[in-house]
């Protein structure tokens, strides 16, 4: 008896919870429990567990927007992808005077030029880490927005909590997935990421990395739909952020946009979302001018 | 980058400036120190918030001037400590190279990622209890704020602010030997409360934060009735129950619409009744240097199926050590240990609130002090 009391006191003194043995986290089949498990693991700083719980939950509840969103967050956190990775993709050599968004556009233009050199602050290993994260976040966030768009597909709370970040995240993920797929050996991130042997990677004198490549138009066009889906999400995000200040003649849906006909979108670049949108759009115009990717045409017809 | 750093600095400041989650902190540090038990043992100025039936048996006549309860969680203190340790870096951000800015930005994000900051301040400028009536006016402000890397690694801010102003008046009745099966003292009580509530609740991405739209509070009012009951099983053992908001009007939010607010003007906040049961026992022990030993047990919302059973359990003990003005407490709340002590009118407690769905999932450790003249 005294021994039991002593153990209890030691557990309590250590801040443990007396009742934690009564709930086996990650084992429940209840939808709300699974969402709670993912959220709790994320907030405890255990993103690997959170991703495992979310993946299991998605198998059981494939129509649950919360699980897809939290799963995307968990994957990105477990891969340790942060904003500085994104910034590092766009280091100063690419940036010029136009800020990160301009650098983003320059990166895309590089792709559009077909043979190019990129300067990154990321090593091939970093690219592999990001490829795993953005490939999953793209798929999951696309599912979130598909569920939200379906009448009754998501609750009001899910829409308020997840829509804004899902739009922004899908935009960034679509762009990154396209870029990384182009750099990948077999151009399929589902098989993991290995830097294509046709791409030469070397350290620069300033400590970054430089990549040179000659790109295959078929590969670029194969990734076009991801870019366009991401851009559609960025466009919706931009429209939400700027609210009622949009010009009247602006298209209501990016799917109605023929990028080759909309070279000057008159976007308010005074906002971060406008900057993101316009720079990616500029890149897509360049892409289209170079390759005339057919995926985009088929989506409009 | 400067814009983003500014946003995160503001996030830290937001988390440091205020409040948001329903809890029993307003009842005071005394009860949080003893496992968050109060239903059957509250006899002090917290009666009006804890159990109006105790107005039939308060610890004498009480006047309160400048009663204060404040709590802060350890995640907030971590973030504040980080901000203070890096004060010079924050001041010199604009002079940093881009690489240093990125590294500093990474450091900030890593240090505040998913740290849910929580602050609460409750002020009771005036209150009076004289058997069998009592009344008080109060303000109760709560804030939670959290920033985390979102679904593409870009930061998000999640914030809730809530401020209540209100007043409570209550009345308690008691009978001894009312029925043959109720031979001892039975007390019942009711209190009527008026609350004017202001809230702000949002989750925003960096792009949404950068659009410059300011935060606007929504306002609403409600009137609610709390009911309480106490019964002495014998001279040492007492059982109690309270139904909070047994009858209460819903809150209809008024104010200006904002793009990212989770609550819109015209939305209705339903106020649901909440039941809490408790039992307390004055111990017959004769321990040297200890007196007024009290054991209490509470069961919160026993019939609410949305909350796991182990999150509802509270138990604690209190005793005076050497003198009646020095009390120590300990307990278990939702499975976590609690401790507390009082010296004269100043009370401190350390306790843990379970933020997850099940006990043991997501502990939020908090410090709370209360003081009253």
* pLDDT score of B312 more than 90: yes
Asked if B149 and A44 come within 8 Å (Cβ–Cβ), the reply is no
Q: Which residue has the higher pLDDT, A271 or A224?
A: A224
For the residues of B32-60, what is the DSSP string, one character each? Answer: HHTTS--TTT--STTHHHH-GGGGGS-SS
- Residue B360, preceding peptide bond in cis (omega within 30° of 0): no
Disruptive mutation site among B4, B34, B153, B213 for chain A (greatest number of A CBs within 10 Å): B153
Nearest to B360 by CA among A181, A133, A25, A112: A25
Which of A53-57, A261-265, A281-285, B273-277 shows the lowest per-residue confidence on average (mean pLDDT)? Answer: A261-265
B266 and A CB contact within 8 Å:
no
pLDDT at A166: 94
- Alpha-carbon distance B329 to B335, whole Å? 16
Determine what percent of chain B is predicted with pLDDT higher than 70.
Answer: 92
To the nearest whole Å, the CA of B260 is away from the closest chain A CA by: 8
- Alpha-carbon distance A259 to A114, whole Å? 19
Q: Which residue has the higher pLDDT, A235 or B238?
A: B238
Locate B312 and state its tokens: 């509802």
- Residues of B within 8 A of A45 (CB-CB) are 113-114
pLDDT at A6: 61
pLDDT at B6: 45
Measured between CB atoms, which of B114, B150, B337 is closest to A43? B114
Mode of pairing for the β-strands spanning B155-176 and B133-149 = antiparallel
* pLDDT score of B43 more than 50: yes
Within 10 angstroms of residue A246's Cβ, the number of other Cβ atoms is 15
**ipTM exceeds 0.95:** no
Nearest-5° angle of CA B111, CA B116, CA B122? Answer: 130
Locate B141 and state its tokens: 């402000």
Sheet holding A115-120, edge to edge: A115-120, A209-214, A200-203
Can you name the residues that pair with B239 across neighbouring β-strands? Answer: B231, B279
Averaged confidence pLDDT in chain B? 88
When pLDDT is averaged across residues A106-112 and rounded to a whole number, the result is: 60
Determine what percent of chain A is predicted with pLDDT higher than 90.
Answer: 32
Per-residue confidence band for A295, with pLDDT thresholds at 50, 70 and 90: very low
When pLDDT is averaged across residues B173-202 and rounded to a whole number, the result is: 93
pLDDT at B273: 92
Q: Which residues contact A79 (CB under 8 A, 6 or more apart)?
A: A129, A130, A132, A133
Q: Three-state SS string across chain A, please?
A: CHHHHHHHHHHHHCCCCCCHHHCCCCCCCCHHHHHHHHHHHHHCCCHHHHHHHHHHHHHHCCCCHHHHHHHHHHHHHHCCCCHHHHHHHCCHHHHCCCHHHHHHHHHHHHHHHCEEEEEECCCHHHHHHHHHHHHHHHHHHHHHHHHHHCCCCCCHHHHHHHHHHHHHHHHHHHHHHHHHHHHECCCCHHHCCCECCCCEEEECCCCCEEEEEECCHHHHHHCHHHHHHHHHHHHHHHHHHHHHHCCCCCCCCHHHCCHHHCCCCCCCCCCHHHHHHHHHHHHHHHHHHHHCCHHHHHHHC
pLDDT at A8: 59
- Residues of A within 8 A of B149 (CB-CB) are 73, 76-77, 81-83
Per-residue confidence band for B13, with pLDDT thresholds at 50, 70 and 90: very low
pLDDT in tens, A65-97: 999 999 999 999 999 887 666 666 654 444 444
Q: Phi, psi at residue B187, to the nearest 5°?
A: -125, 140
pLDDT at B173: 95
CA B84 distance to own-chain centroid: 26
Averaged confidence pLDDT in chain A? 78
* Nearest chain A alpha carbon to B117: A43
Asked if B154 and A81 come within 8 Å (Cβ–Cβ), the reply is no
* pLDDT score of A270 more than 90: no
pLDDT at A251: 66
Nearest to A69 by CA among A155, A192, A180: A155
pLDDT at B8: 41
Residue in the structure block whose two tokens are 């990160």? A100
B150 and A CB contact within 8 Å:
yes
Whether B147 contacts B157, CB under 8 Å = yes
To the nearest whole Å, the CA of A27 is away from the closest chain B CA by: 13
* Nearest chain B alpha carbon to A86: B153
- Alpha-carbon distance B152 to A272, whole Å? 15
Element (H, E) at B131: none
- Residues of A within 8 A of B110 (CB-CB) are 82
A276 and B CB contact within 8 Å:
yes
- Alpha-carbon distance B250 to B224, whole Å? 9
> Which residues 177-236 of A are in CB contact (within 8 Å) with B?
none
* Residue B25 three-state SS: helix
**Can you give the length of chain A in residues?**
301
When pLDDT is averaged across residues B295-323 and rounded to a whole number, the result is: 92
Locate B243 and state its tokens: 């139904």
- Residues of B within 8 A of A171 (CB-CB) are 152
* Nearest chain A alpha carbon to B350: A15
* pLDDT score of B15 more than 80: no
Can you name the residues that pair with B227 across neighbouring β-strands? Answer: B190, B243
Q: Phi, psi at residue A47, to the nearest 5°?
A: -65, -30
A93 and B CB contact within 8 Å:
no
- Residues of A within 8 A of B205 (CB-CB) are 164-165, 168, 237
* Nearest chain B alpha carbon to A272: B207
* pLDDT score of A290 more than 80: no
Q: For chain B, what is the largest distance between any 2 Cα atoms, rounded to a whole number of angstroms?
A: 83
pLDDT in tens, B51-100: 999 999 998 899 988 889 999 999 999 999 999 999 999 888 888 877 78
pLDDT at B208: 80
Q: For chain A, what is the largest distance between any 2 Cα atoms, rounded to a whole number of angstroms?
A: 82
pLDDT in tens, A15-68: 689 999 999 999 999 999 999 999 999 999 999 999 999 999 999 999 999 999
| Whether this model's pTM surpasses 0.90 | no
Asked if A17 and B260 come within 8 Å (Cβ–Cβ), the reply is no
A284 and B CB contact within 8 Å:
no
Q: Is B177 exposed, middle or buried (0-12, 13-18, 19+ CB in 10 A)?
A: exposed
Q: Is B88 exposed, middle or buried (0-12, 13-18, 19+ CB in 10 A)?
A: exposed
A119 and B CB contact within 8 Å:
no
């Amino acid at each position: 008896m005294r021994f039991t009391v002593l153990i209890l006191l030691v557990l309590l003194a250590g801040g443990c919870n007396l009742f934690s043995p009564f709930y086996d986290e990650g084992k429940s089949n209840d939808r709300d429990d699974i969402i709670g498990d993912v959220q709790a693991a994320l907030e405890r700083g255990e993103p690997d567990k959170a991703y495992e719980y979310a993946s299991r939950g998605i198998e059981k509840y494939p129509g649950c927007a919360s699980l897809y969103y939290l799963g995307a967050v968990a994957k990105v956190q477990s891969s340790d992808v942060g904003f500085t990775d994104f910034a590092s993709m766009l280091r100063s050599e690419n940036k010029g005077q136009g800020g990160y968004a301009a650098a983003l556009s320059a990166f895309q233009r590089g792709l559009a030029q077909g043979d190019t050199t990129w300067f990154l602050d990321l090593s091939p290993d970093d690219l592999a880490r990001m490829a795993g994260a953005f490939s999953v976040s793209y798929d999951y966030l696309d599912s979130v927005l598909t569920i939200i768009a379906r009448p009754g597909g998501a609750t009001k709370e899910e829409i308020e909590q997840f829509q804004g970040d899902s739009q922004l995240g899908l935009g960034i993920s679509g762009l990154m997935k396209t870029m990384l797929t182009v750099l990948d050996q077999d151009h399929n991130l589902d098989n993991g990421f290995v830097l294509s042997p046709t791409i030469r990677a070397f350290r620069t004198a300033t400590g970054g990395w430089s990549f040179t490549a000659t790109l295959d138009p078929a590969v670029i066009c194969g990734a076009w739909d991801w870019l366009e889906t991401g851009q559609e999400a960025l466009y919706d995000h931009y429209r939400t952020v700027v609210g009622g200040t949009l010009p009247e003649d602006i298209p209501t849906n990016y799917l109605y946009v023929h990028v080759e006909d909309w070279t000057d979108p008159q976007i308010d670049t005074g906002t971060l979302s406008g900057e993101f949108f316009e720079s990616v759009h500029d890149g897509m115009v360049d892409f289209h001018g170079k390759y005339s990717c057919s995926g985009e045409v088929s989506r409009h017809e | 980058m400067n814009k983003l750093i500014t946003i995160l600095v503001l996030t830290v400041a937001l988390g440091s400036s205020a409040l948001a989650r329903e809890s029993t902190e307003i009842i005071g540090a005394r009860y949080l120190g003893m496992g968050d038990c109060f239903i059957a043992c509250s006899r002090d100025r917290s009666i009006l918030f804890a159990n109006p039936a105790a107005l039939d048996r308060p610890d004498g006549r009480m006047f309160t001037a400048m009663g204060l309860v404040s709590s802060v969680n350890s995640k907030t203190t971590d973030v504040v400590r980080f901000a203070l340790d890096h004060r010079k870096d924050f001041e010199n951000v604009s002079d940093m190279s881009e690489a240093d800015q990125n590294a500093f930005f990474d450091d900030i994000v890593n240090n505040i990622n998913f740290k849910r900051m929580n602050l609460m301040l409750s002020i009771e400028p005036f209150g009076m209890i004289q058997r069998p009536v009592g009344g008080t006016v109060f303000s109760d402000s709560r804030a939670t704020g959290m920033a985390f890397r979102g679904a593409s690694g870009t930061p998000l801010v999640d914030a809730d602010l809530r401020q209540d102003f209100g007043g409570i008046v209550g009345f308690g009745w008691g009978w001894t030997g009312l029925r043959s099966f109720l031979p001892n003292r039975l007390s019942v009580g009711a209190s009527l409360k008026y609350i004017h509530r202001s809230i702000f609740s949002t989750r925003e991405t960096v792009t949404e934060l950068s659009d410059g739209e300011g935060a606007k509070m929504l306002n609403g009012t409600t009137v609610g009735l709390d009911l309480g009951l106490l019964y002495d099983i014998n001279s040492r053992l007492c059982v109690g129950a309270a139904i909070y908001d047994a009858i209460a009007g819903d809150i209809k939010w008024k104010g200006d619409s904002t793009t990212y607010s989770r609550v819109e003007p015209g939305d209705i906040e339903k106020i649901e009744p909440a039941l809490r049961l408790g039992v307390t026992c004055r111990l017959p022990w004769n321990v040297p240097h200890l007196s007024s030993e009290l054991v209490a047990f509470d069961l919160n919302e026993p019939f609410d199926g949305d909350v796991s059973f182990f999150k509802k359990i509270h138990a604690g003990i209190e005793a005076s050590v050497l003198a009646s003005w020095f009390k120590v407490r300990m307990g278990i709340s939702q499975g976590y240990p609690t401790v507390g002590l009082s010296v004269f009118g100043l009370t401190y407690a350390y306790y843990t609130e379970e933020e997850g769905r099940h006990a043991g999932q997501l502990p939020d450790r908090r410090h709370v002090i209360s003081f009253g003249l």
